[in-house]
Amino acid sequence: MAEEVKITQGDLYASRIFFYAAVPLLKVVCESEAKFGDKFKGRNFVFQISALYDGEGSENGKMGTHFVVEDGVWTTQAGKVHENPDVELCFSNLRKFNVFFAGKGMVSVLPKMKGVFKNFGIFKDILTALLRMAGLMQAKDKPEKLEDQIMLCKLYLYLLPNGISQLNKMGHPDIKAVTENSPDRTYALIIEDYPELQSWLRMKMGKSMSGRGEYKRCKPFLAMKFKNPSLALDIMMSKADMVAYIREEKLFVDGAPEFAGVVGGLLFKVAYYALGEYLAAEA
Amino acid sequence: MAGGITFTTVDSTKLATAEIFGKTIAELGEKDPSIVCLSPDLAGSTKMVDFLTKYPERFFNVGIAEQNMIGIASGMAKCGLTPFASCFSVFASLRALDQVHTDVCYQNVNVKIIGTHSGTSFGQGGSTHHAIEDIAVVRALVNMTVIVPADGVETANAVKAAAAVKGPFYIRINRGFDNVVYNKSDYGFKVGKAVEMVEGTDITIIACGSCVYQAVQAANILNFDHKIKARVLNMHTIKPIDKDAVLKAVADTRKIVTVEDHTVIGGLGSAVAEVIVEGGKSCILRKLGLQDKFSAIGLHEDLMAMHEIDAQGIVKNALEVMKIDAEKDEDWGDEV
């Protein structure tokens, strides 16, 4: 039974981003960094993050995302609730889940932890990877080490287009206004000389999808190409002005430049929910 | 009969493609004494008067006998001359087809055929004088290079390129009044290489001849009125076609509209379709032109509008293509 708390539309948007775009990045951390991934070699388990919720889109009174790990290989089931996971972090409601993942007061919203004692080794290693992800994504300033910058870029690049697509699929009016009027177009985010640091968002007449790596179906309608991870983080962490960076040739826009602003607006909309800004606005 | 019909463009000297052809061939004649010109009693209409005046001994009026003209040109080429044989496209490609096939292409001789009054550009002349199948016919001929210049400047480039290369050429120009596409000749004309007129990634418009100007105008309208970024390719050489440019258009935009003042069967659109099919990557293709029917009789610009190969027609069709949902079964899931 979910705790009595009024879940707003903003909560639903934020939780959609977290469950479908942010939580799945745990797999990215484990696959990208051997010090985390190696710990799961040969292991088999199901790990789930969930929140109690009875509304639309819930399964068995929950919303959640789970990972199936088979012989150390991760498969993500975004937005899907597993009935009997080996390890689970279950929040008492969506709001607390959002507050936790937005980094807005973690202690007060700690989840119930299931299967921890029985599978303590797995839990410990998952927690370590989760803390790595949270440490990067909730930092106020960009990391100094290049390897950390690369990892954080990857997380942002994979999160942001997916987040936009999730909001579109939820029918967010601001996002829908863009996608419904869009012909078949793809917007790409690229960090030059780092093939894995690319992601894209495709939209067509109200539909949307996001992906990682190079977009190969056709030439992206617009590609925002950053010179290096550090400069990319300046923009993605709102530490620099996009127009100034374009002018200074730190960011190259390949395509119709007037649409760079459109992309920027969509990205900020994801940040509005993912950083928990909506919580203050709704308070 | 070509004479006596009211021209519809005021500044005829500036815009006349055939005039520029006439001046170019006269210039080339001065540099290259092997160049000779032949005409089936159409020196005036095909604008070869400058050459005739300068080099009367190298100009041959064969009378109203296009088939003989091609045969004579072939013989001259066999003797080492570089004949430029000019007549209405409809007669060069259909009436004289056997001679073009056997005397020119089969012999692979150095004859340059300048087809004038092409497409529906001689609109008032009626269907007997419209050349709407000539590209389809001549591009099927072995050894033949086929060029459809966009305007006068490109015609000059095409004629110079043809003179510089041995072998049969068919250069398809209009009655004489084309909108100006190029202000300078050094824009990078090369036989077999398309020219990108406008950048874009939403859709590609591939045009030739008088339709290039219309395509550029259409791209501007699409951009300013509809925020659609259309790429425009001037595919001046139909054979050998620029496969790389077509395949790049497929890969980049996945939607192509071809525009030609010609039947949609066998011309530019078909040539592009052949490349697409061989490339193996799917795309939406719409071919604009005469939809397997003879044209009405009228002014060229009116006929272009009727056949939707003017700017407005291209815009209308491009917008329709943009709305085609050809991949309905796609999985619109997000990668995680």
Which two structure tokens, joined as six digits, stand for B97? 């087809």
Q: Do A27 and B336 touch (CB under 8 A)?
A: yes
Cis amide prior to A229 (ω within 30 degrees): no
Cα–Cα distance measured from residue A247 to residue B185, given in angstroms and rounded to the nearest whole number: 34
Question: B332 to chain A: which residues are within 8 Å by CB?
Answer: 207-209
Residue A154 contacts by C-beta under 8 Å, 6 or more apart in sequence? A28, A32, A196, A197
Nearest to A223 by CA among A233, A231, A235, A214: A214
- Interchain CB distance below 8 Å, A20 and B253: no
* The pLDDT of residue B12 is above 90: no
Class of domain B12-172: alpha beta
The answer to whether domain A9-137 and domain A146-279 are alike in fold is yes
Whether residue A62 contacts residue A93, with contact meaning beta carbons closer than 8 Å, is answered with: no
Q: Show residues of chain A in contact with B335, CB under 8 Å.
A: 162, 209-212
Euclidean distance between CA atoms A263 and A224, whole angstroms:
9
Helices (H), A138-195: 146-169, 173-179
Choice among A72-76, B13-17, B306-310 with the minimum mean pLDDT: B13-17
User: How many CB atoms within 10 Å of residue B75?
Assistant: 15
Residue B285 is encoded by which pair of tokens?
Answer: 């293709």
Name the residue ranges covered by the structural domains of chain B.
Answer: 12-172, 195-323
Contact B151, B214 (CB under 8 A): no
Q: Mind telling me how many Å the CA of B268 is from chain A's nearest CA?
A: 23
CB pairs under 8 A between A and B: 57
**pLDDT for A113-124, tens place per residue?**
999 999 999 999
The arrangement of secondary structure in B195-323, i.e. its CATH architecture, is: 3-Layer(aba) Sandwich (3.40)
Task: Write down the CATH number for the domain with range A146-279.
Answer: 3.30.1050.10
Q: Do B202 and A212 touch (CB under 8 A)?
A: no
Q: Is the CB of residue A177 less than 8 Å away from at least one CB of chain B?
A: no
* Dihedrals phi, psi of A277, to nearest 5 degrees: -65, -30
Considering only the beta carbons, identify the residue of B229, B253, B323 that sits closest to A218: B253
Contact between chains at B202 and A205 (C-beta distance less than 8 A): no
Residue A256, pLDDT above cutoff 90: no
Evaluate if residue B1 carries a pLDDT over 70: no
Please say whether the beta carbons of A197 and A185 come within 8 A.
Answer: no
Pair A48, A27: CB distance under 8 Å: no
Token couple for B278: 């061989």
Supply the pLDDT for residue B13: 53
Question: What is the ipTM, given to two decimal places?
Answer: 0.86
Mean pLDDT of chain B: 93
Contact A203, A182 (CB under 8 A): yes
Both structure tokens of B105: 């292409």
Looking at the predicted structure, is the pLDDT value of residue B336 above 60? yes
pTM of the full predicted structure?
0.87
Is the Cβ–Cβ distance between A224 and A246 less than 8 Å? no
CA A169 to chain B, closest CA, distance in angstroms equals: 10
A9-137 sits in which CATH class? Answer: alpha beta
What digits encode the pLDDT tens for the residues B54-88? 999 999 999 999 999 999 999 999 999 999 999 99
Beta bridge partners of A198: A190
User: Which residues of B are less than 8 Å from A207 in CB distance?
Assistant: 332
What pLDDT is stored for residue B21 in this prediction? 87
Question: In the sheet that A62-70 helps form, which strands lie side by side, from edge to edge?
Answer: A73-77, A62-70, A45-52, A87-91, A112-114
List chain A domain ranges: 9-137, 146-279
Residue B216: what pLDDT?
A: 98
Contacts with B115 (C-beta within 8 Å, 6 or more apart), sequence order: B86, B87, B88, B89, B92, B93, B131, B134, B170, B171, B172, B173
Q: Which residues of chain A neighbour B324 with C-beta distances below 8 Å?
A: none
Predicted pLDDT at A104: 84
The reply to whether B12-172 and B195-323 are identical in fold is: yes
pLDDT of B25 strictly over 80: yes
Whether the predicted pLDDT of A49 surpasses 70: yes
pLDDT, one tens digit per residue, over A223-250 is 999 999 999 999 999 899 988 999 999 9
**What is the C-alpha to C-alpha distance for residues A81 and A67, in angstroms, rounded to an integer?**
10
Per-residue pLDDT at B6 exceeds 50 = no
Percent of chain A at pLDDT above 90? 86
Which residues, including other chains, have CB under 8 Å from residue B141's CB and lie 6 or more apart? B100, B101, B105, B168
What's the Rg (C-alpha) of chain A? 19
How far does B70 lie from chain A, in Å, by closest CA? 46
Whether A185 contacts chain B with CB within 8 A: yes
Compare CB distances from B334 to A162, A219, A256 and report the shortest one's residue: A162
> Above 50 in pLDDT, residue A62?
yes
On the 0-12 / 13-18 / 19+ scale of CB atoms within 10 A, B101 is middle
Q: What is the pLDDT of residues B137-170, one digit of tens each?
A: 999 999 999 999 999 999 999 999 999 999 999 9
Question: Considering only CA atoms, which of A273, A253, A250 is closest in space to residue A263?
Answer: A253
Q: Is A210 on the interface with B (CB under 8 A)?
A: yes
Question: CB–CB of A15/A101 below 8 Å?
Answer: no
- Does residue B143 sit at the A interface (CB-CB below 8 Å)? no
Q: Does B323 touch chain A (CB under 8 A)?
A: yes
Contact with chain B for residue A39, Cβ under 8 A? no
Chain B residues whose beta carbon lies within 8 Å of the beta carbon of residue A18:
none
| A1-42 pLDDT tens trace | 555 788 999 999 999 999 999 999 999 999 999 999 999 999
Q: Strands across the sheet with A207-212, in order?
A: A207-212, A198-204, A185-191, A222-226, A251-255
Among residues B302, B168, B188, B301, which one has the least CA distance to residue B240? B168
**Residue B99 token pair:** 């001679």
